[in-house]
Structure 1
């Protein structure tokens, strides 16, 4: 893939989805409503030019930093720098960072709970979940590797994922099996 194609793909996949929060940020921090569309386009242009050599790791932080700097530069050029406007721009920047930090903490906590739930599974069930969901094997590949039938893989996967979900929301994380007679009734439906 050429650098231009990667840049376009990055812009479409990661920058454009930020349009709504970026527009809200610009509206909150710029007093002239008629300038918002132009400001957003300037942010997009600066993001593309800045990322032309190397794509940024954290697109959201990158785009909002560009927006913040653009607002500061515009305010300085217009010589209508009110202390109140500058304070709002500075305060809003910290809010973006706090939200990103909070999302990272939440994601790490969810990953920790998922790991604990996986570790609590019986060995066979844990192996099925690992093969299917972590290694990405198909049902057939997992069945061949374990030397069992596809129906066993399906059943163990369902039981394992239910137990992990239960553990992640604070439950016991124990496998709850349905009695064989009830399973037959459910299959008939």
Structure 2
């Protein structure tokens, strides 16, 4: 056995076991197969690294896991009444997606990225760590040297700003501001009328 490959594998791959297992739990419906999927991902990564070490080991590990799940889904194309899990977490392109739906998804992604880029720097960093990297609130607070309450407030602020930008000019705020019905006053002006 190549000790340097074993050392690399322990240092670069095995350290992500918790995140890998969490991903597999979100993406694969059969909990009994999680252990097998994890092991199969490790085997594939180890074998590939024996030939050529990946430059981004964590990304390579998760890409390998996604490919495994995709392969299993394709092999098991038999109709099942069990839910398949979180397909969005797999980033799998389904053959039946129309060009229009792809374009819509692409445009939505660009709008969301633009909204994210407009967040204040600290808020953007907190939202990224909590919602994209899915770090616990406590870890985000420790990493950034802020309180957990500040993390909570920054996430709430970020989500609110994203919604306002994404849905356009404060429409999200107007939609939740009041449940009092509005009517027009005959001059084209909107008025709120309590029941």
Specify the TM-score bucket, using the shorter chain as the normaliser: 0.3 to 0.5
Instruction: Output the TM-score relative to the length of structure 2.
Output: 0.43
Higher helix residue share: 1
**Higher-Rg member (1/2):** 1
Instruction: Output the TM-score relative to the length of structure 1.
Output: 0.44
